[in-house]
Amino acid sequence: MSSISPRLQELLVAVIVFVFCGVVAFLTTTFSKAPDLFIGNGMQPRNFPLFLMLLTAIINVLLIRQILKAPPRQLTAHSYHTWGTIALMVVFYLVTVFADMMLAISLVVFSLCILWGERRLWVAALLAVLTPGTIFLFFDLVLQIRFPKGILTNLYYG
């Protein structure tokens, strides 16, 4: 792929993202409609993936605009960042399964901040509290989707 210009490589990634969005959007049409008895005032199972794919497509358009406006520069690889991030994904899974998803999000957000170079611990800690809190409130209050039981979610759900 080295014979392809960096700009074309970046645009190829954007095209792949559009194809992914299209496939996921199509797959949501195969979801059966959930009875109102089960979801109440909540949303249908297909709506959230469609919303995410629409949001992803909009961000992808912004990415294409940025690529066309200014070509990307070559970045140096930082392998410990990459492997550390992969390791944190495993940690996220393990903490989610054995403890709590909100706790896992907090732990991983804080660790990612430190891993990728944030020196102010208070900023990393603030993000580690605000991110899962915002996600939890959005899903619980706006989308009316409950999270699985865990250490922190049990405090809220009772």
Domain boundaries, the chain: 6-69, 79-157
Q: Which residue has the tokens 């992808």?
A: 60
How far apart, in whole angstroms, are the C-alpha atoms of residue 90 and residue 62?
31
Residues 105-134 pLDDT 10s: 999 999 999 999 889 999 999 999 999 999
**What is the DSSP code string of 32-45?**
PPPPHHHHTTS--T
Distance of CA 128 to the CA centre of its chain: 15
In the predicted structure, residue 2 carries a pLDDT above the cut 70: no
* Two structure tokens written together for 65: 């605009």
| Distant-in-sequence contacts of 65-71, Cβ < 8 A, 24+ apart | 67/7, 67/10, 67/11, 67/14, 68/7, 71/6, 71/7
Between residues 20 and 69, which one has the greater pLDDT?
20
Percent of the chain with pLDDT over 90: 42
Residue type, 142: V
